[in-house]
Amino acid sequence: MKEILEQQWHHRPEAEVIEALATTLESGLDATEVGHRSEQFGPNAITQKKGKSALTLFLLQFHQPLVYILLAAAFVTSFLKEWVDAGVIYGVVLVNAVIGFVQEAKAVKAIEALAQSLTTTATVMRGGERRQIPAAELVPGDIVLLQSGDKVPADLRLLSSRELQIDESTLTGESVPVQKQSGTQPRDTLLADRLNMAYSSTLVTYGIATGVVVATGNSTEIGRINEMIASADILATPLTKKIARFSGLLLYVILGLAAITFVVGVLRGESLINMFMAVVALAVGAIPEGLPAAVTITLAIGVSKMARRNAIIRKLPAVETLGSTTIICSDKTGTLTQNQMTVQELYAGGDSFLVSGIGYEPVGEITTGNEAVEPTQHHALHECLTAGMLCNDSVLLEVDGEWRVEGDPTEAALVVAARKGGLEREQLSAALPRLNAIPFESQHQYMATEHGSAERRIIYLKGSVESVLERSSHALSRAGELMPLEPDDCHRAAAEIAGKGLRVLAFARKERINPTADLSHDDVTEGMTFLGLQGMIDPPRPEAVAAVRVCQGAGIEVKMITGDHVITATAIARQIGLIGGTGDAGQLLALNGRDIEALSDEELITVVRQNAVFARVAPEQKLRLVVALQATGNVVAMTGDGVNDAPALRQADIGVAMGITGTEVAKEAADMLLTDDNFSSIEAAVEEGRGVYDNLVKFITWTLPTNLGEGLVILAAVFAGVPLPITPVQILWINMTTAVLLGLMLAFEPKEPGIMSRPPLDPRQPLLTRELVTRICLVGFLLLVGSFGIFEWELRRGSSLEAARTCATNIFVFGEMFYLFNCRSLRHTMFRIGLFSNRWVLAGVSLMLLLQLLFTYLPVMNTAFGSQPIGWLQWGLIISASLIVYIVIECEKWLRHRRSA
């Protein structure tokens, strides 16, 4: 019987479903059968995947080439008994490991949050009795009773229902509750359109129903999502990939140079101890000890900046990934749109009207032909708005200056439209108090309310265009008189409004004189007076429209992936600018879930680049879309808020969850949360991410020439057979102090102008371009010439070895100091970006200058680092050599700019 969980049930008749599950509607399963099925199918709970142990996760943080290099540096400094420096390096390694461990451990919480989303109890029929049991005890074949407020405890095939509405937004992305009903549906019906199914973890918002359990635990739709979350790949970020490649290369280069140095020195007759010290100096000099700390701190500063722009980063590398993003896949409802239904068009008395304003704030006006209309001067329009206000169960409230709605979003839009027309609910309700109502039922497709007094009553009707027109015999004119009803004109107006993606409702009224009975369906079967149409939509956020334009200008493609209908999605996409009036050249307007399902993985890779809108998309299809985009080398950011979005959020290079409307599952699977659920915050985060990436590249471009120069100086000394110009301890002093006081100041560098006018970085582009590698080699060579030259010059003048080494050390420090100003911009001079735009750099330079004076003149430092005071002549040479570095690099920038112009 276990194969029943793999079946599709929506296309099978109720009697066949009950027979296949060997149950009965009246009495359900007996205790014996429940016991057998519990053993066979297990508990109705999501199985937790067994992952790596905490210790394994922690130890894996050290399994990186860069960490190997740092541990080697720490070992070397420990060997030299430089315990402070060794402690600092070990501390850097440990902090990075802890951060990585914490972030990775958080990622697996998505499945835990998903497991907790199951309900705790369910109402069932067992052995002919109605019982309430823990949801985990449900088995296939159980008869479950649902009512308003329940969370659906398992996947159910509905057997009967009355006015049932279920909020499936967390599963399908549908923005409004879905009207459910029993009956059969075609086999190829999409998940979001299966009206005779109720899915685990969705919420009953209205009505009652009876259903039979067809899937439990991992076999439910939410269980399948859990499987996809667990199987989705967690991709390395562009930065981590590039640093891993760079670190691996650097490891082999250091080992190779150390071996060559040792062999050459021994062949030249140097002692093994001296060559061992030379190799140690070379290794320490070539290792960029400050790089991991700089990366972590720069990313952390980016996190702080993004938080101020409504983007909370959960995983540090996501900061840089945003800057490399090439495609943003965004949900529609609430992210690109207001998530507040708004009436935008009206049709009454044969005239068409536009309504300004967006969202629930009742500010706007009604116009026709660019002229404002006073509803009291147009009776049909006034009555149409009145019907929308009174035939309504939703309430509009202002709380702390913010407009909110209690009730259905569609009805809220009607209330707001009436308020914009000058109508007040209190006054209307006082004049026409509600007496009776017929609630909306899916089989009738309308709602009716009765207002007035015992002697004279008015019925207002609201519903689908077809249901209202077939009950209407005439229409109301603008002068308030009855006129012949023209159904064709009404259908044409409705089709024109619906063609723009708006949801259309029709309105009618009827008077009852001296009624003898309560309001019934018979009272609205005929004789209604047609009042008009109201068309509404969840409108785009104005700031989202601007943000999409900025992203497109930055070379970032924006795609909409939604569970909503194709027409609505296409209309919003056109307003936002994702597609043109009739589609871009060679580009389809939209694909729906059925289109995607029919495509192979290879076909999808081609088609996904040609389309900007994907509607009625199922969870596994969102995952397929992300994988298809990544297959062509794109860095994909994916937004989402529901349980159905979690697998795609986890698979994407950066998952972006909604902080306000997002489920815990989505938040746990994401790398970033938006505190305002606004697409414009993604654009702001991308901008900050690009700034962070720029600053990281600036730091790496700044720090590597020092390591290169130090390594070359050691090599030159070994090959020339002279004492080392700088000792291992002095090298550590240079690397650690300058990295903290100079290099890290680049993390505070403000974003350069035009940062969002550049195309996104090619993910395949190396961390350092050929231009930057050339610059690094040039600066490294200048430091070699300057330090080795002044070292040899001092020795020939008769200065002590300590004084010569002090001069060489200062060449490196002051050369880095001047080169720091070159690196504030990799393209422009520091004067163009503003000499004082980063005061942290000036503060760092001042502190470094003070430390270097202490290094040179303080006796304690002389003893610790083997330095010695030097005179004005030496300082003049040091400053001159360092200034040459700055001038040469500025000339190199100018030549490159001139060549590219």
Answer whether 557's CB lies under 8 Å from 327's CB: yes
Report residue 660's pLDDT band, with 50, 70 and 90 as the boundaries: confident
Report residue 580's pLDDT band, with 50, 70 and 90 as the boundaries: low
Residue 101 clears pLDDT 90, i.e. is over it: no
Please report the pLDDT score of residue 524 as a whole number: 92
Closest CA to 142 of 46, 47, 35: 35
Please report the pLDDT score of residue 215 as a whole number: 92
Report residue 475's pLDDT band, with 50, 70 and 90 as the boundaries: very high
- Residue 876 gets the label, from left (phi > 0), alpha (psi -120 to 50) or beta, of alpha
User: Greatest CA separation found in the chain?
Assistant: 123
For tokens 């359900």, the residue is 28
Chain segment 703-727, per-residue pLDDT in tens: 889 888 888 888 888 888 888 898 8
For residues 658 and 666, what is the distance between their CA atoms, to the nearest angstrom? Answer: 8
| Side chain identity at residue 682, one-letter code | I
Residue 6 clears pLDDT 70, i.e. is over it: no
**Residues above pLDDT 70, as percent of the chain:** 86
Residue 170 clears pLDDT 80, i.e. is over it: no
Across residues 326-351, what is the average pLDDT? Answer: 89
Q: What is the DSSP string of 212-267?
A: EEEE-GGGSHHHHHHHHHHHS--PPPHHHHHHHHHHHHHHHHHHHHHHHHHHHHHH
The verdict on whether 641 is a catalytic residue reads no
For residues 304 and 307, what is the distance between their CA atoms, to the nearest angstrom? Answer: 5
Q: Give the 3-state secondary structure percentages of the chain, helix then strand then coil, rounded to 5.
A: 50, 20, 30
Chain segment 761-809, per-residue pLDDT in tens: 776 777 778 889 999 999 999 999 999 999 999 999 999 999 999 999 9
Report residue 255's pLDDT band, with 50, 70 and 90 as the boundaries: confident
Please report the pLDDT score of residue 175 as a whole number: 60
Please report the pLDDT score of residue 273 as a whole number: 66
Residue 547 clears pLDDT 70, i.e. is over it: yes
- What are the two backbone dihedrals, phi and then psi, of residue 361, each rounded to the nearest 5 degrees? -70, 120
Task: Pick the range with the lowest mean pLDDT from 347-351, 613-617, 871-875, 886-890.
Answer: 613-617
Report residue 386's pLDDT band, with 50, 70 and 90 as the boundaries: very high
Task: Pick the range with the lowest mean pLDDT from 79-83, 309-313, 619-623, 770-774.
Answer: 79-83
Residue 116 clears pLDDT 60, i.e. is over it: no
Task: Pick the range with the lowest mean pLDDT from 194-198, 397-401, 783-787.
Answer: 397-401
Answer whether 379's CB lies under 8 Å from 478's CB: yes
The H or E element spanning position 130 is: strand 129-134
Answer whether 144's CB lies under 8 Å from 124's CB: yes
Please report the pLDDT score of residue 102 as a whole number: 65
Please report the pLDDT score of residue 339 as a whole number: 80
Please report the pLDDT score of residue 884 as a whole number: 95
Closest CA to 669 of 109, 228, 105, 238: 109
Across residues 606-625, what is the average pLDDT? Answer: 86
Catalytic residue among 150, 193, 331, 645: 331
pTM of the model: 0.69
Task: Look at residue 211 and give its three-state secondary structure.
Answer: strand
Across residues 141-150, what is the average pLDDT? Answer: 88
For tokens 């493609």, the residue is 557
Answer whether 213's CB lies under 8 Å from 144's CB: yes
Please report the pLDDT score of residue 99 as a whole number: 58
Q: Which residues fall within 8 angstroms of residue 745, CB to CB, at 6 or more apart?
A: 820, 838, 840, 841, 843, 844, 845
Please report the pLDDT score of residue 91 as a whole number: 67
Look up residue 615 and give its two tokens.
Answer: 């509607």
Closest CA to 281 of 785, 711, 736, 802: 711
**Residues above pLDDT 90, as percent of the chain:** 35
Please report the pLDDT score of residue 651 as a whole number: 87
Please report the pLDDT score of residue 728 as a whole number: 76
Out of 13-17, 247-251, 455-459, 813-817, give the one with best mean pLDDT.
813-817
Across residues 367-372, what is the average pLDDT? Answer: 90
- What are the two backbone dihedrals, phi and then psi, of residue 770, each rounded to the nearest 5 degrees? -60, -35
Mean pLDDT of the chain: 84
Residue 115 clears pLDDT 50, i.e. is over it: no
Please report the pLDDT score of residue 679 as a whole number: 85
For residues 578 and 37, what is the distance between their CA atoms, to the nearest angstrom? Answer: 51
Please report the pLDDT score of residue 104 as a whole number: 53
Task: Pick the range with the lowest mean pLDDT from 183-197, 274-288, 807-821.
Answer: 274-288
Beta-sheet strands, E only, within 282-416: 311-313, 327-330, 342-348, 351-355, 366-368, 371-372, 395-399, 402-406
For residues 101 and 61, what is the distance between their CA atoms, to the nearest angstrom? Answer: 7
Chain segment 824-849, per-residue pLDDT in tens: 998 888 888 877 888 999 999 999 99
For residues 40 and 1, what is the distance between their CA atoms, to the nearest angstrom? Answer: 9
Report residue 44's pLDDT band, with 50, 70 and 90 as the boundaries: confident
Task: Look at residue 735 and give its three-state secondary structure.
Answer: helix
Across residues 627-652, what is the average pLDDT? Answer: 85
Report residue 510's pLDDT band, with 50, 70 and 90 as the boundaries: very high
Q: Which residues fall within 8 angstroms of residue 25, CB to CB, at 6 or more apart?
A: 18, 125, 143, 159, 210, 212
Q: Calculate the alpha carbon distances from 481 to 379, 486, 534 in Å.
A: 8, 15, 20
Residue 97 clears pLDDT 80, i.e. is over it: no
Residue 109 clears pLDDT 70, i.e. is over it: no
Residue 188 clears pLDDT 90, i.e. is over it: no
Please report the pLDDT score of residue 696 as a whole number: 87
Higher pLDDT, 237 or 352: 352
Residue 618 clears pLDDT 80, i.e. is over it: no
For tokens 């209307």, the residue is 428
Please report the pLDDT score of residue 800 as a whole number: 94
Chain segment 526-538, per-residue pLDDT in tens: 999 999 999 999 8
